[in-house]
Structures are given as structure tokens and as C-alpha cells.
Structure 1
Amino acid sequence: MSIMKRKKFTIKEWIPAERPREKMLLFGADALSNAELLAIFIGSGTPKESAVGLAQRILDGYDGNLELLSQVPAHALYRFHGIGPAKAVTLKAAFELHRRKGLPVQEDYSLFVLNGSGDCVRLFWEYHGDRSDRESWFLLANSNRRFLGLVQLSSYVDTPDDLDLGDLLYTIQDHCASKLVFIQKGDFTDPVPSASDIALYEELKATAELLGLDLMDFLMVSETSHCSFADLDLVPILPYR
């Protein structure tokens, strides 16, 4: 008795109304499942699996949670057979575009001068968007307080022991900054500097001075509020003047 193997059809062999791209053109994006939408970005599957099947397997790997999937780094997707750097980066680019759609249109900040902590907070959220809860950043400026960029540190800095001097050196060498604002993003409901925060500020300030840099401010930022050491007169000089 012979056993007939069931033929696996590629997407090209599907009827047009069932292929993701053609289905979208015929019926609109709302007619596609999440797996079918992801399949359009993935482009192709493997010899044994269609792009839709591969997309569904990725979704299953994150319990169908698109928000969770959107937050994983590109290299985390390599564990799915059929996904390499090109496809992983394509998926990350799609999620990044979705994230940015809710942000205001970015202005050209290359000539933007920092005149207060509010400017720093505005720039931070303009560039940051919605990522994880606990992060540490440096906002960079030149000697005229002209904005140069934002750089995230490799790990969250909570105490002086967490400070990685290599992070600071790399930041300076790469951007030629002369002024810095340290930004600590957390889930603060009402950010108030603790003794540990003040000690961290003093350590950052001392390290910056050794490198010939000016630490203008220390900001504690959450989605609902922020706290500026400069606004609280914890910074010895007027940093935004």
C-alpha cells in the first residue's frame, strides 16, 4: 500500500485572492491576518514553509503579542529558521515606522540651542518614543549649547558604581561634544532626587570635569513628569546661560 504525500503549495501557487499581496490589493489591509501582513515584509519562506507559515511561527513564539515582538532586537529573530539579518532588519524597520507614526513630525534640530530643561525634555521625547522603562542617556551639545544628539548608555545607571567611563569616553569621541545633560528615564510617579541620585550627579560631574566637559543638568524623566537638578538649583552655576 503506497502512501501519498500531500504536496505543499508555495504562495505563488495559491489562488490570487489568498496570496497576501494580491489579497490586500483586492480587499484592503483590514482583510489580512497579522501573519499575512508580516509575510509581506518577510517576502519568502523556506523550501518547506511558506512566508505566511513562517510569520505565524514567529507570532506564536511571542504568544501572538505584536507589542512584545516589536520590542525584541533583530538578532533575537534569527532563532526562527528562515529569518536572517535582512528579513529581521526589514521587520524591525516596519515596527519602527509604526512607532514613529504617533510622534510629531521631527524638525531639523541641528541648529537648536538648549535654553532650559524643558528643551532637553522635549528633544528627549521627540527622539526617544516608547521603549523600555529604565534607561540612561546623554544629551549632547557643543560649547554654544547647540544640540548634537542623544546617546543611550549600555546599561541603566542608578548609582556611581554603575557608571561606565568607557560609555562617556565613547560618547565624547564620537560626537565631539563639550556639554552634556544626563537623563535618567524611569517609572517615576513624582521624581524627587534621592541621596543616591545626588551622589551619582556629583560622580558624573567630577568625571566630566576630568575630561574637560560641562555637565549642564541631571534630568529624571518619566512619561508623566520630570525633575531637573538645574531647576532645583542643585547645579552650582546657571547651566543654560
Structure 2
Amino acid sequence: MKEEETTTGVYPEPSGIRSWAEEDRPREKLMLKGKHSLTESELLAILLRTGTREQTAVDISMELLRKAGNDLNALGKLTVTDLLEMGISGIGKTKAVTIVAALELGRRRQLSSVKEKSRITCSRDAFDILYPRMSDFRHEEFWILLLNRANKVVGTERISEGGLTGTVADPRKIFNAALKANATSVILCHNHPSGSLQPSTADIQLTKKMSEAGKLLEITVFDHLIIGEGSYYSFADEGMI
């Protein structure tokens, strides 16, 4: 009698990353070909470490990037709560914390790369120092750069933080910080979370007020920068100060 065929004990073909060719697995690919050979989703997959029954870590990473508009800058602004609220299967609290921590390390690397540029010769120099500090804020913040007579940076200080549409800059706090640092000049800076670089009437009035107050204290207000997404508006460059 012919035995009936049975599927008992037959396992489905593996579909996870382990079934990939070694040179295509993210970790092995990095070791064999170097970090520059990996896509963003493959780099994220290394952080995630594991996938789910239905998706590989690379699949989950691709979904995450897609929900962030395939924009690493946008991804870098997300909080742990934001990531969890995306509802992506395979990303729980631990993995969300890992992603946020890794992106924060990248942001801090940017900060360390501009520390050597301590002498300000133009508005771009000031932007390069301040942008890494302010680029990820979803609310307005007001910062100052403090300079000595050689235009070298002797300090950076956050003056205030506000909401989506504004923040308060106290002249007393600004010039007290300058006096304590023995600064002879300052550069004002605040961000526009909307990305718009157009100065408001309040921005113009504030710049004029600060400039006049600085003259009384013999502290020059060199510039006022408005920072948007990857760009800036300089009051000095536009002849507004």
C-alpha cells in the first residue's frame, strides 16, 4: 500500500535576514564592505537588531523612513513618544530609545565638528556654530553668541525658549551674560520652527532695541540670525542692523 504524502515536519523556507547571502546582511555587509556601502534602512536595521515574524529589521526600517518622509532630519527630530505613536510593528520602547539615542549622537558629532571654528568672520560662521544646536527644535528658542575683541567665541547661551510662534528675549539677561563673559560684542539668534526666514515686525523691533541698548553698554550687536531648515536670514547681510 502506497504511503500518503504528508507535510508533517516540513518547515517553510526562512525569509528573515539570516536567510540572506552573508554579504547582504547589514552587519556583515558593514564589516565586509564598510559603512558607506549601507543604505539608511540597513544602518537603522543594525540598531533595531531584530525584526518580527512578518518583517525583517530592514523592512521595519524602510517603513520607519517612509513614515518620516524619507528625511533623516525629520527623523532626528522625533521623540521616543513620536516613534511609538507611529504604531510600527517591531518598534517598542527599547528600540525607540536606541534610535533616538543614535540620532542624538549624530547631532552632537555635528556640534563637535564646529568647535574649532571659534572665530567669526561672517554670518555663515555664526550659523555653522548655532545651527546644530537649534535645528531640531519644534519650538522657538533665543540664543546668543558672545565674542571678544578678536571676534572669537567666548560663549554661547540660551536666553529663552517659547512655543511654536514665539519666545521672549530679555535684554537684561542678554547683556548680563555678555558682561559676565567680558564679551565686547554679541550675535543674536532665534529659530523659526515653521521654516520661514522672513523676519516679523517684532523681530525687527527687537533687533533695533538690542542694538541701541548695546551701544549704551559699549557692547556691539553684530548680527541677528533667524534660523530655518538648513538656512538662515542675517540682519547684517540684509543691511537691517
TM-score range, shorter chain: 0.5 to 0.7
Instruction: Identify if the C-alpha distance between structure 1 residues 145 and 20 changes in structure 2 by more than 3 Å, giving closer, same or farther.
Output: closer
Deviation digits for residues 84-123 of structure 1, max 9, x if unmatched?
43432113434776xx5xx9x747355x4x6xxxx35133
Query: Contact between 1:157 and 1:163, CA under 8 Å: does it hold in 2?
Result: no
Q: Does 1:154 align with 2:161?
A: yes
User: SS of the residue aligned with 1:45?
Assistant: coil
Offset at 1:20? 1.0
Deviation digits for residues 186-209 of structure 1, max 9, x if unmatched?
6457x7xx7644431355468889
**How far apart, in 2, do the equivalents of 1:95 and 1:108 lie?**
16
The gaps in structure 1 that reach 5 residues or longer are 235-241
Which residue number in structure 1 is paired with residue 124 of structure 2? Answer: 122
The gaps in structure 2 that reach 5 residues or longer are 1-7, 86-90
Residue identity opposite 2:234 in structure 1? H
Which residue number in structure 2 is paired with residue 172 of structure 1? Answer: 177
Which residue number in structure 1 is paired with residue 75 of structure 2? Answer: 69
Which residue number in structure 2 is paired with residue 238 of structure 1? Answer: none
Alignment of 1:40-59 (within 5 A): 40=46, 42-45=47-50, 50-59=56-65
What is the alpha-carbon root mean square deviation over aligned residues?
A: 5.2
Q: Does 1:87 align with 2:92?
A: no
Alignment of 1:5-24 (within 5 A): 11=17, 15-24=21-30
Offset at 1:25? 4.6
Give TM-score scaled by structure 2 length. 0.55
Residue identity opposite 1:180 in structure 2? V
User: SS of the residue aligned with 1:228?
Assistant: coil
User: SS of the residue aligned with 2:188?
Assistant: strand
Query: Contact between 1:35 and 1:55, CA under 8 Å: does it hold in 2?
Result: yes
Please point out which of 200, 218, 222 is paired with 1:217: 222
**How far apart, in 1, do the equivalents of 2:60 and 2:197 lie?**
40
Instruction: Identify if the C-alpha distance between structure 1 residues 23 and 150 changes in structure 2 by more than 3 Å, giving closer, same or farther.
Output: same
**How far apart, in 2, do the equivalents of 1:166 and 1:9 lie?**
62
Deviation digits for residues 108-158 of structure 1, max 9, x if unmatched?
355x4x6xxxx3513312224574798643112358764123345524898
User: SS of the residue aligned with 1:163?
Assistant: coil
Instruction: Identify if the C-alpha distance between structure 1 residues 85 and 203 changes in structure 2 by more than 3 Å, giving closer, same or farther.
Output: farther
Give TM-score scaled by structure 1 length. 0.55
The percent of aligned pairs where both chains have the same amino acid is: 18
Which residue number in structure 2 is paired with residue 163 of structure 1? Answer: 168
